[in-house]
């Protein structure tokens, strides 16, 4: 890679719509590292583009930065299967709750009753009330 192909921290941040302090934080956590420092300034290669994209994808999937650091730094991709399995199970629970919430909202949009008086909603409301 030619030095003209390297990106400054500002260019890398702009490319992804991030603030430079985000990249500095990720660097402090070992998630990214500059290809080199020219005159004390960070320079990033094309590998940083891939790494930032991976970090953003992981964050969108709900992984925290520490989890991402562990997953991305593992020499063997199978080292963190348990962590990813747990995360997949948690995502599945969130998806189920989101589907149920969406169904309730869609029902409320079509139902002529107030939500607290709707027979369909009352079943769900009753299921949410803890026993005495």
Question: In the predicted model, is pLDDT for residue 3 greater than 90?
Answer: no
Higher pLDDT, 36 or 57: 57
The confidence score (pLDDT) of residue 77 equals: 76
The confidence score (pLDDT) of residue 41 equals: 83
* Chain centre distance of CA 132: 38
Structure-token pair, residue 4: 């003209």
DSSP state of 17: T
Buried b (16+ CB within 10 A) or exposed e, 45-55: beebeebbeeb
Q: What is the pLDDT of residues 7-44, one digit of tens each?
A: 999 999 999 999 999 999 999 999 998 887 767 788 99
Higher pLDDT, 2 or 49: 49
Q: What is the pLDDT of residues 77-112, one digit of tens each?
A: 788 889 899 999 999 999 999 999 999 899 989 999
Strand pairing category for 36-38 and 41-44: antiparallel
The confidence score (pLDDT) of residue 4 equals: 64
The confidence score (pLDDT) of residue 42 equals: 85
Band (1; pLDDT cuts 50, 70, 90)? very low
Structure-token pair, residue 22: 């985000």
The confidence score (pLDDT) of residue 119 equals: 87
Structure-token pair, residue 81: 């299967």
């Amino acid at each position: 890679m030619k030095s003209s192909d390297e990106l400054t921290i500002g260019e890398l941040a702009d490319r992804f719509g991030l603030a430079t302090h985000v990249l500095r934080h990720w660097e402090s956590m070992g998630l990214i590292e500059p290809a080199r420092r020219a005159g004390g300034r960070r320079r990033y290669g094309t590998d940083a583009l891939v790494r930032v994209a991976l970090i953003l994808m992981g964050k969108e999937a709900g992984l925290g930065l520490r989890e991402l650091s562990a997953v991305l730094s593992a020499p063997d991709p199978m080292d963190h299967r348990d962590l990813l399995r747990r995360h997949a199970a948690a995502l599945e629970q969130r998806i189920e709750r989101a589907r149920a919430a969406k169904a309730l909202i869609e029902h409320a949009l079509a139902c002529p009753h107030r939500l607290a008086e709707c027979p369909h909603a009352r079943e769900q409301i009753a299921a949410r009330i803890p026993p005495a």
